[in-house]
Amino acid sequence: MNPDEIRRLFTSALADPEPVHRAGTDAIVAAGRRSVRRRRTAIAGSSGLAVLAAAAMVLAAPVVLSGEDRPPVGQAGPEPPAETTEDGEELPYEPCPGPTEEMTSEQLETSAMYEAALDEAVTEIGGSLGALCVEGQTDYDGFHYDPDFGGYRYHEIAVFPDSGGDADLTVEVRDPVEGPLEERMEQIAECGEAADCTWNHGSEAGALLETEGDRRVVVDEDENPEGDPIPFSGVLLGLADGTVVRVETGGGEYGLEPLEVTHEELAGIAAAIAGGEESPTREHDEGYLIPEDGELIEAFTQAVVATVPEAEIAEGEPTGFAPAADDHYGNDGTELAYLEVDVGGEAVTFFLQKTPIEAPGDGGATRTAAEHYARCTLAADCEFTELDGSTALTHRTYGGGQTELTSIEHRAADGWAIGAGVVGGTADPPVGFEALDEIVHQIR
Amino acid sequence: MTPEQEVEFCEYVEARRGALLRTAFLMCGDWHRAEDAVQTSLVKLYSAWTRTRRDSAEAYTRRIIANSLIDESRRGWFRRERSFAEPPGPTAGEHTHDDRLTAVAALARLPPRQRATLVLRFWEDLSVEESARILRCSVGTVKSQTARGLQTLRALYENADFTGQGAPS
């Protein structure tokens, strides 16, 4: 059989009409956002304060339904197992489950902390993590604690876009054990057997052992039961408390061009993980001029009272900011604070949303940028007004059982979008966009 | 991700999704599994989009599709979960009902890695090196898998009766 015959065979196999896609592009984008948000939430969750704040918001946030199928707004906490979008569209399945059921909260936080440090360190050398969970040692997407192994493990693919290459990346953080540290490290590395080992005495982070060699990887037992020799290089970093951090990368492009990650770079990754507890959280990337939460909420409360004189604010209001659990408010970093108010005998919820703009200045205050950050594709209606070259105002309306109105000021130069919204009353809120615009204006 | 990057991503998905789906189907023989693999690859691509060169996005998605389908079949999951296709509908062009059944049945007999190798080499027209990069194996393995796949198909066409075997593998 020759190549042309093979191509005809393929064409014949595809002769049936293709099925209709079960998930549209929007559903894929939504799932991508969820994936990114989950990773960021895990990273942010490595801060004890962030965890406490999120837990507090579960109790404090009001449940407001502005559409029959819409989930409660402001509910923080674990990502819901969303199988469909708001439109009922099926979301893509994810083959790499998170290890949430098998670790303690402390282990989860530590895993997230290690992953944040690893992500940062790999990014610094031009890589990108999490392309694919790897069959074999772990079934998880990310770090997980393995009590039988005696430490945290990570095994995924790192992608290096500039070179177009990728690499198997294995990271281990082994618990301290009794006995000589360097001897243990040599045993872990299988020095003299599977690896050539060299001690690097110039490391300030701890005892550093550099390794390299070949591992035989069996890809197809029938075709090649002995496997192919796959080059690897790695480091083991022994810390003063006996913890051993191992970072090893195997050639992703087997037999082609071995990916060159130097021992120095690997040592940098190991040191970053070892010092992960001191890594800053990355909930909001540096450079965003987000006002202090307390100031913002205070200004919001005063603006509501000033703009809606008949408003009576319930005791204990307002709440603090919490991550938006629903995509319809804004992007991954969107947070909301709520204010329960009685307006002429009707229970009304005002909310303040703040959305960091990932690339301040990018796109200016154009309609495309403003409507993107306001999630206008999900709204029943959006009205755009350009205020000046870097500021725009968007009036966003969601329908459903209760109408939800939001006036969002998109401040491209500052790097954030802020919105004042209202939902409540019998069907339509007792205040409109004019009042919301005034509230936003006063906050500014 | 900026608005412009997200628009670019959506355009990429719209433009390439159909072709990726056909490639995935040829690798596994089941439209549902093919779509799952494509969706998974695109969701992962979304996460990496801001750091992925546009010209490497295609290889990135193909790599995820190929390896996830191969891994699934090796784990036996696919064998348990696969759904047998409906009887084929109207055929297109010059291809007859029997042609399609025969083609699907023949491909179903190939081991997953051989099948993926043939799809990359002769459907996607990728070089040996590019195929090796996607399948994460050596150039030599791609060559041997190609030869064995062609040999297997040749033998099947010469000797086998495919009647009633138009099931995905």
Please spell the DSSP secondary structure of A372-418, one letter per residue: HHTTGGGSSEEEEEEEETTEEEEEEEE-SSS-EEEEEEEETTTTEEE
Q: Which residues of B touch A162 (CB under 8 A)?
A: 53
C-alpha to C-alpha distance for A254 and B131, rounded to whole angstroms:
11
Domains of chain B and CATH, by start: 3-81+96-159 (1.20.140.160)
**pLDDT over 80 (residue A186):** yes
- Is the CB of A33 inside 8 Å of chain B's CB atoms? yes
Residue of A185 and A63 predicted with greater confidence: A185
Q: A120 to chain B nearest CA, in Å?
A: 13
The residues, ordered by sequence, that sit 6+ positions from A262 with a Cβ below 8 Å of its Cβ are none
**pLDDT over 50 (residue B77):** no
Tens of pLDDT along A305-361?
A: 999 988 888 777 677 888 876 778 887 678 888 888 888 888 888 999 988 876 665
**How high is the ipTM of this complex?**
0.80
Residue A369: the pLDDT is 81
C-alpha to C-alpha distance for A371 and A330, rounded to whole angstroms:
10
Tell me the pLDDT band of B86, cut-offs 50, 70 and 90: very low
Residue of A188 and A367 predicted with greater confidence: A188
Tens of pLDDT along A93-117?
A: 444 445 545 677 677 778 878 887 8
Contact A10 B71 (CB under 8 A): no
Question: Cα-Cα-Cα-Cα dihedral of A71, A77, A80, A86, to 10°?
Answer: 30
- Percentage with pLDDT > 70 across chain A: 68
Contact B13 A28 (CB under 8 A): yes
Residue A289: the pLDDT is 56
- Is the CB of A150 inside 8 Å of chain B's CB atoms? no
Contact A254 B137 (CB under 8 A): yes
Tell me the pLDDT band of A55, cut-offs 50, 70 and 90: very low
Residue A77: the pLDDT is 31
Residue A260 three-state SS: coil
Q: Which of A251-265, A353-367, A417-431 has the lowest mean pLDDT?
A: A251-265
Tens of pLDDT along B13-32?
A: 999 999 999 999 999 988 88
Residue B52: the pLDDT is 65
Tens of pLDDT along A115-155?
A: 878 888 887 887 777 545 444 444 456 788 888 888 998 87
Residue of A275 and B38 predicted with greater confidence: B38
Residue B24: the pLDDT is 93
Tell me the pLDDT band of B141, cut-offs 50, 70 and 90: confident
Report the half-sphere exposure of B10 (CA within 13 A, side-chain side): 14
End-to-end CA distance of chain B: 38
CB count in 10 Å sphere of residue A2: 9
Question: Cα-Cα-Cα-Cα dihedral of B95, B100, B103, B109, to 10°?
Answer: 180
**pLDDT over 70 (residue B83):** no
Q: Which of A64-73, A234-243, A252-261 has the lowest mean pLDDT?
A: A64-73
Residue B71: the pLDDT is 66
C-alpha to C-alpha distance for B152 and A184, rounded to whole angstroms:
49
Q: Which helix (H) or strand (E) holds A354?
A: strand A346-356
C-alpha to C-alpha distance for A49 and B27, rounded to whole angstroms:
48
Q: Which residues of A touch B18 (CB under 8 A)?
A: 18
